[in-house]
Structure 1
Amino acid sequence: MATTNIWQQFKSLIPEGTRTVVTIVSHHSNGTSQARLRDGTVVIVLGVSVGVGENAFLQGGEVKGAAPELGQYEAEV
């Protein structure tokens, strides 16, 4: 049954969870990868679709695809 609640319809357009950019460090034989966050923390994630040394989008603990190599800047306000 389709909802008529406009807020619920809007929320369904937005993907669940946050998307983070990580660098893939290594692949494991069980279908997981070791990834490094921008702050240096190393985590184990699902997926091996992005090559070692490349950036990837991480969402919900799973590699969602390759991320572009862009510069990172910080600005203090």
Structure 2
Amino acid sequence: MSWRDFDQLLPHDPLLVAVVVEHNADGTSTVQFPNGSLLRVRGQGVPIGGHAFLRGGEIRGPAPAVTPVVLEV
């Protein structure tokens, strides 16, 4: 197996987490990232208000809610 063969097995799109804010009539959803930006993605498999895993512009499934933690040193 060459490096190129191995590299093709790895995902090239990052796995992201966002909150679903709207389901659209065309089968897409609008999601919001922690920084406030919005993105329209394919799929409606996660309810509005739920956290979703996203990859390649598509909802891949529900994600656990992530609570920010602040550590003081």
TM-score past 0.5 threshold = yes
TM-score under structure 2 normalisation? 0.83
Unaligned runs of 5+ in 2: none
SS at match of 1:65: strand
Equivalences, count = 72
Q: CA deviation at 1:16?
A: 2.2
- Whole-angstrom distance in 2 between the partners of 1:66 and 1:37: 15
Unaligned runs of 5+ in 1: none
Letter in 2 for 1:33: S
The residue that corresponds to 1:38 in the other structure is 34
Q: CA deviation at 1:8?
A: 2.6
- Deviation per CA, 1:22-65, whole angstroms, max 9, x where unpaired? 00001011010010011001111111011100000111111111
Divergent runs of 4+, >3 A: none
2:69 aligned with 1:73, yes or no? yes
- Whole-angstrom distance in 2 between the partners of 1:35 and 1:42: 6
SS at match of 1:58: strand
SS at match of 1:22: strand
2:22 aligned with 1:29, yes or no? no
TM-score under structure 1 normalisation? 0.79
2:27 aligned with 1:18, yes or no? no
